Chain A
Amino acid sequence: MQETQDLESRGPVRARRPLTAWFDVRRDRLGSWAFALNRLTALGLTLYLFIHMAVLYLLAQGESRWDSFILVVRSPLFLALDVVLIFGILFHGLNGIRVSLVGMGIGVRNHRRLFWILSAIGLVLLLVSAWLVFTI
């Protein structure tokens, strides 16, 4: 687990400027980008969770409110935002799987390879999802 916590942190640089250090890629380019993107997607998904829960209240307000909401979210802009959301879910989920596995001692030596394999899987899933979002 300690190794994952090390993967998730970058020592002295992070200790001095904890927030800006998210984007400091001088020491470990891949790990730093994964760390920063993981946190950005986490914040984005948290925001989405709050919006999603608020929007579901429209369902409780009856059919007409729900139908007008559905009309809005079927617009191309919202469909594009759906693809951004799917990117966030896929990156956060797959990177989370990598961090969890490495933290449990699985694939510690190959964590970089694991990152690229999961990224490839994520890219394929993103492309398929984007196609489905705009065609279903």
Chain B
Amino acid sequence: MRDKSLTHQGPRQDRSGAIWLIQAFSGLLLVALLLLHMVAHHFIVEGGLREFRQVVDYASHPAIFAITIIFLIVVTVHTVLGLRAILIDLRPSLAARRSIDWLLLAIGVAIIIYGIWLEFIIARL
């Protein structure tokens, strides 16, 4: 007879492995994006980007706009998965776990929508 607990854990282990990989690769991608972000903001213009017009012009550049959107999505995915790992470690019930997943998904989508909306607003200034 098959052990039910092992059968039950199988897909979850696969899923956690996939989540771990997404977390790891998004983290490595973030290191590169963050480095680019820091260099662009602090070293391209002498003294760093501070003046209102400088910041708006920088954010409105099509390439920067696209990179910022990618950065926003990657950082949100990494953050939401990281928060999920911390919350799951608190050993919630299965029902609470489902609620956590949906809540974090909603938060992640809301952050991405807000960020993209804000980028469009800033680009039009």
Residues of A within 8 A of B (CB): 1, 4-5, 14-15, 18-19, 39, 42-43, 45-46, 49, 53, 56-57, 59-60, 62-63, 66-67, 70, 89, 93, 96-97, 99-100, 103-104, 132, 136
Contacts and interface: CB of A to CB of B under 8 A. Distances in A.
A49 B55 contact: no
B95 interface: no
Contacts, number: 71
A93 B122 contact: no
B42 A132 contact: yes
A60 to B, nearest CB: 5
Pairs A-B, 3 closest by C-beta atoms: A100-B24, A63-B52, A96-B27
Given A46-B79, A60-B122, A136-B42, A89 B34 contact: yes
B52 A67 contact: yes
A42 B82 contact: yes
Which residue, B82, B111, B122, has most C-beta atoms of chain A within 10 A? Answer: B82
21 contacts: A1-B20, A1-B21, A4-B20, A15-B91, A19-B90, A43-B86, A45-B79, A46-B79, A49-B79, A53-B118, A56-B118, A59-B59, A59-B122, A60-B125, A62-B52, A63-B53, A66-B55, A93-B30, A103-B20, A104-B24, A136-B47
Contact of A100 (B27, B59, B122, B125): B27
Interface string B48-81: 1010110110010000000000000001000100
A15 B47 CA distance: 49
Interface SS, A side: helix
B30 to A, nearest CB: 7
Interface in B93-122: 111, 114-115, 118, 121-122
Contacts of A63: 52-53
Contacts of B75: 49
Interface SS, B side: helix
Contacts of B59: 59
Which residue, B34, B42, B52, B91, has most C-beta atoms of chain A within 10 A? Answer: B52
Nearest to A132: B42
